[in-house]
Amino acid sequence: MLRTHNCGTLNITNINLQVTLSGWVQKTRDLGGMTFVDLRDRYGITQLAFNMDVNADLCTAARKLGREFVIQINGKVIERSSKNKNIPTGDIEIEVSKLTVLNSSKTPPFTIENETDGGDEIRMKYRYLDIRRNPIKESLMLRHQVSKATRDYLDEQGFIEVETPYLIKSTPEGARDFVVPSRMNEKQFYALPQSPQTFKQLLMVGGIDKYYQIVKCFRDEDLRADRQPEFTQIDCEMSFIEQEDVLNTFEGLTRHILNEVKGVKLNEFPRITYDEAMKLYGSDKPDIRFDMKFIEMTEVCQGKDFMLFDSAEIVVAINAKGCADYTRKQLDSLVNFIKTPQIGGTGLIYCKYNQDGTSKSTVDKIFDEDARDAWAEKAGCKKGDLLLIMAGEIDKTRKALGALRLHLAEELGLRNPEVFAPLWVLDFPLLEWDEDTERYHAMHHPFTSPKPEDIAKLDTDPAAVRANAYDLVINGNEIGGGSIRIHDKTLQQLMFKHLGFTEEQAKEQFGFLMEAFEYGAPPHGGVAFGFDRLCAIMGGQESIRDFIAFPKNNAGRDVMIDSPSDIDEIQLNELNIKLKD
């Protein structure tokens, strides 16, 4: 047996026990007469003690152990004289009687400690060493717990896990596909799925009325920060249901996961419409861990001969509670923030409501005390508050103020990662205008059903058509999205038409689905959760990268295996691919 126990379990109740342990050498400390070795495995660290007076050879051998050597020891559990209260094994150590080196190790390129000296790139290159570190190991363990809790809950609810293919057909809708050349079908290509969307709908036609899958998805997008070209979804679909059923089932799933993994009990999730979300937070994924809702100020601000306000479609504000004592420097930094190109705001008007009852704004010459009091009344500002106002085009202004709201909340420490604030955003628009192609795109995907009462507007006012589509948002992150689908062939054809598909194009790309709809497709709908993101949020982290065992870097490269890479001439020939120089 290579071990009788792991390195995280032995404690004071095991005194005098003879044990065999195996693991990695974290550290050796040579104190002259005594040598101590910290032995590490997945479960923890146990201290090994070697006494020069008792066994000089063994102690000498222990001194020679390098970091990350793999060793096995036999010995007796004894009580430590100086205890370490920070670790579960801290009351004991092992008096070693036999030491076997199972494998040596080169000196690792960075320290295998919680706080490592290794930079991002080097840690990615030696990811297997990074995984030995607690923060990464714990993230992977958390991921496992989330996936187990998911499977337990969905199984309990009668869902079955069905795998769908990874080699599918390319469609131009949505993001760019990763494609795979087919050797046996000359000059033809598979595509890797961006999601199992059409397959799960076909499973519904197949009568599998509750499907789920924890599944890899692939999207060849320009990599923005914290996106991975391959990522994982908890993908689900149900038949004979309405939106309400989907929301309840997946609110239940979210509650179950948070309770199982974090011990957090959540109340019923608030629900707001997409329109309300944009109006109150300037975002379709609002962070509601804190309040700071938008206040529309157009009426109280316009008509005073102030161009910025009078020419604006909207004047909108947030009340930064208790921030009237912001210094000039702090205020300037807010102004600079909204002027950065990503935010694209033009200007910020602010008004301080001081503790002494006076108020001071950047536009005092135009807006006298009475006007400022009217603002305060409208925005609910009390003594000590700071009112921040923006004006301009509706969408842009709301978006910029939404960014400012998050920025301020960050500064004020209102975005505590240990607090979880989920909500549903409902009634998304069905279509979204795309400036580049000058046509409407499906905001969710082309299989999403419009609200029946809005179908008539498809011809007259497409942008106003609402969809039976919903998102689950937690702490300002879109965690899941889904919809009630179209299950009627004629309506699906109508949708394709509105999305600019000719009949031939629709048939060529989605003929199989339309045909399936002719064989008794049940009403159905579903949702998919971003599994990596859910794990990251539960782990209190901004980035998904450490919740993926072997992630790609920002350029979409796996720097450990050095991929993507060239392939040789023979392979290219087999695939009928000629590379341009």
Report the nearest approach of ligand ASP to the CB of residue 526 (Å): 4
Report the nearest approach of ligand ASP to the CB of residue 447 (Å): 8
Cα–chain center distance at 333: 28
**Does residue 481 bind ligand ASP (CB under 6 A)?**
yes
Closest-CB residue for ligand ASP?
A: 195
**Does residue 530 bind ligand ASP (CB under 6 A)?**
no
Report the nearest approach of ligand ASP to the CB of residue 281 (Å): 22
Report the nearest approach of ligand ASP to the CB of residue 177 (Å): 13
**Does residue 526 bind ligand ASP (CB under 6 A)?**
yes
Q: Candidates 98-106, 297-305, 487-495, 523-531: pick the segment binding ligand ASP (CB under 6 A).
A: 523-531
What DSSP designation does 80 have? -
Q: Of 125-154, which residues contact ligand ASP (CB under 6 A)? A: none
**Does residue 467 bind ligand ASP (CB under 6 A)?**
no
User: What angle in degrees, to the nearest 10, is found between the helix axes of 328-339 and 394-411?
Assistant: 140
Report the nearest approach of ligand ASP to the CB of residue 355 (Å): 49
How far apart CA 357 and CA 450 sit, in angstroms, is 52
Please give the torsion angle defined by the CA atoms of residues 483, 487, 492 and 495, in that order, rounded to the nearest 10 degrees.
-30
Taking residues 178 to 217 in sequence order and writing x for each that binds ligand ASP by CB under 6 A, - otherwise, the string is -----------------x-x--------------------
Q: Candidates 251-259, 415-423, 478-486, 571-579: pick the segment binding ligand ASP (CB under 6 A).
A: 478-486
Structure tokens at 307: 């161009």
- Give the Cβ contact number of residue 537 at 10 Å: 22
Question: What b/e string do you get for 447-486 counting C-beta neighbours within 10 Å, with b at 16 or more?
Answer: bbbbbeebeebbeeebeebbbbbbbbbbbbbbbbbbbbbb
Show the CA angle centred on residue 314, arms to residues 309 and 319, nearest 5°: 85
Show the CA angle centred on residue 376, arms to residues 371 and 381, nearest 5°: 160
Q: Which of 442, 450, 513, 530 is nearest to 485 (CA)?
A: 450
**Does residue 482 bind ligand ASP (CB under 6 A)?**
yes
Whole-number CA gyration radius for the chain? 30
Task: Compare residues 146 and 528 and give the one whose CB is closer to ligand ASP.
Answer: 528
**Does residue 443 bind ligand ASP (CB under 6 A)?**
no
How far apart CA 128 and CA 130 sit, in angstroms, is 5
Residues forming beta bridges with residue 182, ordered by sequence position: 188
Selected binder of ligand ASP within 442, 528, 536, 548 (CB under 6 A):
528
Q: Candidates 266-274, 336-344, 431-439, 475-483: pick the segment binding ligand ASP (CB under 6 A).
A: 475-483
Task: Compare residues 59 and 527 and give the one whose CB is closer to ligand ASP.
Answer: 527
Q: Candidates 9-17, 24-32, 520-528, 538-546: pick the segment binding ligand ASP (CB under 6 A).
A: 520-528
Report the nearest approach of ligand ASP to the CB of residue 528 (Å): 4
Q: Candidates 98-106, 221-229, 456-464, 477-485: pick the segment binding ligand ASP (CB under 6 A).
A: 477-485
Q: Candidates 285-293, 404-412, 451-459, 526-534: pick the segment binding ligand ASP (CB under 6 A).
A: 526-534
# of chain residues touching ligand ASP (CB under 6 A):
8
Give the sign of the dihedral formed by CA 103, CA 114, CA 6, CA 152.
negative
Task: Compare residues 224 and 365 and give the one whose CB is closer to ligand ASP.
Answer: 224
Q: Which of 78, 5, 82 is nearest to 39 (CA)?
A: 5
**Does residue 527 bind ligand ASP (CB under 6 A)?**
yes
Q: Which of 70, 87, 89 is nearest to 23 (CA)?
A: 70
Structure tokens at 165: 């293919």
Report the nearest approach of ligand ASP to the CB of residue 240 (Å): 17
Write out the residues near ligand ASP by the rule CB under 6 A: 195, 197, 481-483, 526-528
